[in-house]
Structure 1
Amino acid sequence: MQPLVAPARQIETFAQPSVVRRAARPLCLALVCCCCLLLTACFEARLPDGVVAIVNGEPITLRRLQTLLDSRSPSLGAMRTPSLENMRREYGEALGTLIIYALVRQDLQRLQMAVSPATLEAAFNEVKNDYGGGDGLDKYLTEESLDPAEWRALLLDHLSMLAFEKKVLASGIRISLPELRDYYQTHEDDFQMPETLRVCLISAESRKDVEGFCAVFPGGMSEARKKVQLQCLNVRAGDLPQSWQKAAGALKPGQCATPRQEEGLWRGLALIEKRPPTQMNLAETYPLVENVLREQKMSEAFESWLEKTLAASKIKVAKDIAPDLLAVPPNRDARQGGEGAAAPAAPGGQDDGKALPVPHDEVYEGDIPEGGAGNGTVENQGHAPENGAVKAAPDQSHKRENGSAKRR
């Protein structure tokens, strides 16, 4: 039994806290797990029945490995090809996840910062309430063939990762003003805001209604707007429908484009204002730059901790599963794994499992003030699209983005 050694820097940010992974995603998780285990893993010819790995004396069972895989499978958002390669990759990266979970829990225990039973119970009840209380969650776990005890153990792992992020990694991170200034000056072009238009998209069953709205635009429209559907938003000219881009470019604030018929409705475009390109100053970018630097330092802190912890740990892995751990997908870069079906995001963060919101512009659907002078003052009613539901897995967030109650 001989330990295998590989450069620690190859271990990127597997199972990192959410704030780190937002900057580090996406990674080729199979390669990450492979490198992780190459550092210190000993491949045992024989482990106890049902055990796939032992981390500093703590066993990781095949049942828990399968529960983790089953719990995250529907969050991928796409159908996967059930190939042998996919299965090997998923088993390998899932085992890497559980190994790091075990190391995190053990370190928290050593530091006397372990998640308390009361905290675990409160989190469990919160998820349970998301499923209507009662036995709703139990029924769901049963329907999805998830072992309730193993699922609860994975919930503890998730909470441990959050505690580790907050109490261990983040506690030693400081961002100085010179660092902020240096980053801003180096990436100044990234904070150039392009020209944007504040427009209203108009639709109605008749051309007369659209023209009636435009006749009183931007003020005195309280009656006219009742006959049309109105959506006002901030948008770059290039993001408008192709058929409206030229018309928008010819408009001045307070003007409407000529109505046209599309898909059985009459549609129009009204320009509230044009916002010229602007350069954000350091004060405006402060929270953005601070967040980027914090994420970078969190990543570095995690890598440093992982390298030291692995060097001091004894990890045994079942020899039969070694090929799965070392099966690196061909033609995939470690930093360009994509958000594809075969490589789900690493668990352990606050926003895991949330359906990613579809990129959209800031939408305003309120009244333009009576008698307005076209200055773009509109009421924001925030009709953002609701995120889709995801399966209740402890390595996924258990609340929907917009605060809806019970999920499917």
Structure 2
Amino acid sequence: MKLPVFLTQRPLGTKTVGVVLVLAVLVAGAVLGVRELRDLPDDAAFEYDGTVVTKDDLDERVEVLGALYGIKEPGKKDGRAAFRRDTAKAVAVSMVLDDAARDKGVAVSDKRARDTLDQMVASQLGADPREAFTELLADFGVTEAAVLDEVKRQQAVALLFEKITKDAAADVTAADARDYYEAHPDRFMTPEGRELRNIVVRTDKDAQAVVQRARKGEDFAALARANSLDDATRDQGGALGVVPARSLAGDYAKAAFGARSGAVFGPVRTQFGWNVGQVVRIVPGKEPTFDQVEDQALDVVRSERALEAWRDWLEGRIKKADVEYADSYRPEDPNEPPAVATEQP
């Protein structure tokens, strides 16, 4: 059984929307217990169980999350208030879960956290990862010890999840999986995909030039190797592989899935630059039989039952939590989890 997405590690440098700090409680739909209002210090964001978390404390936590996961406060003024509320809620929830982990005897060793951090650094930060990581810490003004603490916290919540839910899926049968498959056929369909190549350039003018050259018959892969700014795909001739529409940015998906096999499309502007794409081939969607996806269906049912058990346990724990937010940090809707989405290109 796989852990839910909100409990898995995210790589260094990943950009996300909103706060991804241990948001399991939000997915579970629990509400933080809030006491009758009382006076908080002027610099307080919230108080939990007699501990005041200041605005500076939250800022420091965001800096750690920035170094570890790429999270940062939005540049636009109208997004900052929501970000602050989400941050306060996430940190309050993490404190509740810290206490729960201690109560359940869940602990993560320094070595385990160190090994995980070393793996993340080595896999994400290039040829000299330790030097790059040191520079990253300096850029964000955080210490390695603070980052290690955050890794330990995330791992502890993952272990807590396993401890709370270990018995929830034990009685899932093949019949349960088949019932789920028949009730949710769309969950198991392989959607139509496109095998794509893509070239990223800086300007619309550059993109128009690439489009013209490609449509006149120049090899698209060679054009990508010579012109694309995308380090991840340039050496592979811009190859993105076979991707469904849902994995692509909106305008890019419309252009890619509106083109015929072999066609060059674009330019399309995304957050990464101006894109010119080519449809190498169209891969039709497939509806698998139950026998083909039985293991996947079993996994889904087990995961959903685990989440139900987690939600039931967590609701009780959260409702007993002693949390009071300052007005500007009080969540608008504690029941609604922030959406976290990733897109390419």
2:59 maps to what in 1?
66
Q: What CA distance in whole angstroms lies between the structure 2 residues aligned with 1:182 and 1:127?
A: 39
Q: Given that residues 17 and 161 in structure 1 are in contact (C-alpha distance below 8 angstroms), is that contact kept between their aligned partners in structure 2?
A: yes
User: What is the DSSP-based 3-state SS (H/G/I as helix, E as strand, rest coil) of the residue aligned with 2:309?
Assistant: helix
Cα distance between partner residues in 1 of 2:182 and 2:217: 53
Map Cα deviations across residues 28-52 of structure 1 (whole Å, 9 max, x no partner): 98x959x866524454414697684
User: Which residue does the alignment assign to 2:344?
Assistant: 358
Describe the SS at the equivalent of 2:108. Answer: coil
Residue in structure 1 matched with residue 287 of structure 2 by the alignment: 279
Any residues of structure 2 matched to 1:138-149 within 5 Å, and which?
Answer: 138-146=134-142, 148-149=144-145
User: Do the aligned residues in 2 keep the contact of 1:88 with 1:327 (CA within 8 Å)?
Assistant: no
Identity across matched positions, percent: 12
- In the alignment, which residue of structure 2 is the partner of 1:326? 330
Where is the helix percentage greater, Structure 1 or Structure 2? 2
State the match for 2:272 in structure 1: none
Q: CA RMSD, aligned part only? A: 5.3
Per the alignment, in what secondary structure is the counterpart of residue 100 of structure 1? helix
Report if aligned partners of 1:16, 1:302 keep a CA contact under 8 Å in 2.
no
Q: Is the 8 A contact 1:197 1:234 kept in 2?
A: yes
| Partner residue of 1:113 out of 106, 112, 115 | 106
The amino acid across from 1:177 in the alignment is: A
Partners of 1:90 and 1:137 in 2: CA distance:
26
The verdict on how the C-alpha distance between 1:242 and 1:98 changes in structure 2, with shifts beyond 3 A counting, is closer
Cα contact 1:193–1:277 (8 A) shared by 2: yes
Please report the TM-score for the alignment, with normalisation by the length of structure 1.
0.50
Distance 2:258 2:331 in 1: 49
CA-CA distance at 1:146 after TM superposition: 2.8
Q: Is the contact made by 2:32 and 2:323 (CA closer than 8 Å) also made in structure 1?
A: no
1:71–1:27 distance in 2 versus 1, CA, 3 Å: closer
Counterparts in 2 of 1:46 and 1:241: CA distance versus 1, 3 Å: closer
C-alpha separation in 2, matches of 1:290 and 1:15: 17
Correspondences of 1:165-204 after superposition (within 5 Å): 165-170=161-166, 172-174=168-170, 175-188=172-185, 191=188
Moved more, 189-198 or 58-67: 189-198
The correspondence of residues 138-287 of structure 1 with structure 2, limited to 5 A, is 138-146=134-142, 148-170=144-166, 172-174=168-170, 175-188=172-185, 191=188, 245=260, 278-287=286-295
Q: Is the 8 A contact 1:173 1:294 kept in 2?
A: yes
Larger gyration radius, structure 1 or structure 2: 1
**TM score, norm. by length of structure 2:** 0.57
Q: CA deviation at 1:170?
A: 4.3
Q: 1:119-152 CA distances to partner (integer Å, 9 max, x unpaired)?
A: 2333344455565465653442222233555444
- The 2-side partners of 1:183 and 1:287 are apart by 12
Q: Judging changes above 3 Å, is the alpha-carbon distance between structure 1 residues 170 and 92 closer, same or farther for their aligned structure 2 residues?
A: farther
Amino acid aligned to 2:149: A
**Contiguous gaps of at least 5 residues in structure 2:** 10-16, 198-212, 220-236, 245-252, 268-277
Write the distance in 1 (CA, Å) between the matches of 2:280 and 2:146. Answer: 57
Could you tell me how far 1:306 is from its partner in structure 2?
Answer: 1.6
- SS of structure 2 residue aligned to 1:293: helix
The answer on 1:306 being equivalent to 2:306 is: no
Counterpart pick for 1:45 among 39, 51, 61: 39
Partner of 2:96: 103
Q: 1:326 to 1:121 in 2, by over 3 A?
A: same
Report how far residue 81 of structure 1 moved: 1.0
Question: Taking structure 1 as reference, are residues 70 and 279 closer, same or farther at Cα in structure 2, changes over 3 Å only?
Answer: same
* Equivalent in 112, 118, 123 of residue 116 of structure 2: 123
Matched pairs, number: 278
Provide closer, same or farther for how the CA distance between residues 80 and 171 of structure 1 changes in structure 2, counting only shifts above 3 A: farther
Distance in 2 between residues matched to 1:136 and 1:104, nearest whole Å: 32
CA contact (8 A) 2:18 2:86 kept: no
Query: In the alignment, residue 328 of structure 1 is paired with which amino acid?
Result: E
Secondary structure class of the residue paired with 2:77: coil
SS of the equivalent of 1:39 reads coil
Rounded Cα–Cα distance in structure 2 between residues aligned with 1:289 and 1:38: 33
Distance of 2:63 and 2:75 partners within structure 1: 14
- Residue number in structure 2 paired with 1:82: 77
